[in-house]
Structure 1
Amino acid sequence: MRGWDRPAYLWVAAARPRQVRGEALVAPFDPLVFDRDRLAQIFGVHYRIGLYTPKEQRVHGYYVYPFVMDERFAARVDLKADRKSGRLVVQASWLEADAPRVETAMRLAGELRRMAGWLGLSSVTVEPRGDLADSLNAVS
């Protein structure tokens, strides 16, 4: 990778597609986001997990999941599993710069429904915090 001077590894038989398609919510401790310097250098994303940040200094929330769409970071969501009510609560949702708003909201809504399902929750609720909340509510 141009500009990358640190060791990196690729399995010798790994296929390298011309384009990557797909979406995923990335857990805050996933290796993809754990090395913050690498994340910033490769993707240009500054990520800081809110649970280690004093409340008054948090920007995106407490337990924020980055949302990867195709080959980019497209959004961030602060999630909470409310097991009493059976809901996955999106406490805040934020669009990354230059990410397509409608496509991101649609694909993120699908991923949130999948996450709610494997957590055994029956629904997703989007609270009105963040610059993506209205769009996410419109497609949910």
Structure 2
Amino acid sequence: MAHCTAEDWKYQLPWVLLGLRTAPREENPSAAENTGALVVPGELVTEDRHNPVSPEASRHSWSVAFTPPSLSSTTHIFVRDDAVRPPLTRPYKGPFRVLEGNKKAFRLALHRKDDWVSINRIKSALLEEETDVTTTPSA
């Protein structure tokens, strides 16, 4: 600790703390026996030349989200409103007419303009078919 008296002591501090972490302690030998071998922070991550981060450290995954098959043939869609809402308000707005779509987004006719909406925010609308009163048989 004596070499940290210079003005650049803040650059030496991580090395001093690393030394304190890895030094065996004599006052409580049972704690060292319970923890096993000392692990230096550089030993926690294994390095590979082609992949600098080991696969054990990476928790990211690509999972394909479920998309209902009826979504590709629907004519109207509800859009989820992600804003903070008061209690008992509807989470979805719509239904809106579908203009076109692909596997990641749909272009909808929203309030006087057309806009693309991600499939993560939409739900297909099941609308009742309009029946023509003139074609129904009368009894």
- TM-score class, shorter-chain normalisation, is under 0.3
TM-score (norm 1): 0.20
TM-score (norm 2): 0.20
Higher fraction of helix:
1
